Structure formats: structure tokens, C-alpha cells
A = this chain, B = another copy of it.
Amino acid sequence: MHTTIPLPDWLETLNRQSAPFASTRDAMAFVLAAASHNSGDGGGPFAAAVLDANLNLVAVGVNRVVAAQGSILHAEMVALLLAQQRLGSHDLASHGHFTLVTSCAPCAMCLGAIPFSGVQRVVCGARGEDAEAIGFDEGDKPDSWAQKLIDRGIAVELDVARDSAVAVLAEYRERGGVVY
């Protein structure tokens, strides 16, 4: 038995990105472009990528909640799953140092998923409140969520290219995208 999660073909092209990023800010620009593209192709306005210690792309994921009929299919979850499948382990930390770059701060579910994934650094674009401002439910997160990751040895960078990240959310709202 198996289950299959359909993903857009253009995501496969993005996943072939082979040159390392010059910086996590450059990776964020790549992630935001993926989020914008996804938002215009039946997905939510969210994307996330896993990078290795040299800023090579391991995997990029996008939100396919509505399109693929799965409430767990947030961008971070898809990116972590693709990265772990690519490396052949449920624990990225066993393969080195990895960073999760996400177009928006994680919701309660993705926040819970991060410590189990083995990533050691999280870089966020928009804030959760920016997603809530256009109607998305971010779940019940403690105010101190970033500190709780830091307490587990996971570095956190917030508000990276936040203005551009918020613009992707605004674009989705203007398109009349489904909010959940």
C-alpha cells in the first residue's frame, strides 16, 4: 500500500536548482517566488525550502492543502518530507546541518514538526500575524515559540524580507484565494 501526494510539475523544476544560494536572503527570494507561483496555481501563498550547510537546495515545498486534499500539506511539511526522502532519513540532523527557510513563520502544526525534523535553523519571512491578517488560522502557538525552538538548539531568524513576504500574502487575497 502507498499514498500519493500530487505536486505541481513546476515544483519538480524548482527542486532541480543546483547552484548554492549566495545567502539565506537569496534563498528567501527563491522561496517567495515559489509561494507566489503556487498561489497562482491552486495552492496557498506559502513555500518553504530546506538548505544544507553550504546553502545548496535539498528540497522546496509548497502549500497544497486544497489542491491535494490534505490539511497537513503545509509548505514546511512538504519541504521537510521531500528533503528527508531525498536524504533517506527521518532525521536531517544525522546528515549534517540544515536550515528551513519559510515564506511565513510556522503555524502550530509546523512549529511542532520542526524539532522532530532535525533542522537546526529556521529562517522566516512573514509573521504569523501577517497570515492571520488575511484570514488564515495559525493555530494555538505560545507567544514564546521562537524561544522554545532556541531552547532546543534551533536558531531562529525572523522578518527576513518580511515586506516581500507580506506582498505574496496580499497578492493571494487580491486573487480571492481560499482561506482556511
Residues of A within 8 A of B (CB): 1-9, 11-12, 15, 65-66, 69-73, 77-78, 80-82, 84-85, 87-91, 107-113, 115-118, 137, 139-140, 142, 148, 180
Oligomeric state, in copies: 2
Q: Can you pick out 23 interface pairs between chain A and chain B where the beta carbons lie within 8 Å of each other?
A: A1-B6, A1-B9, A1-B11, A3-B5, A3-B7, A65-B116, A69-B87, A69-B90, A70-B81, A70-B84, A71-B91, A72-B77, A72-B81, A72-B116, A91-B180, A108-B108, A109-B109, A109-B112, A115-B137, A116-B139, A116-B180, A140-B148, A142-B142
Given the complex, which residues of B lie within 8 Å of A139, measured CB to CB?
112, 115-116
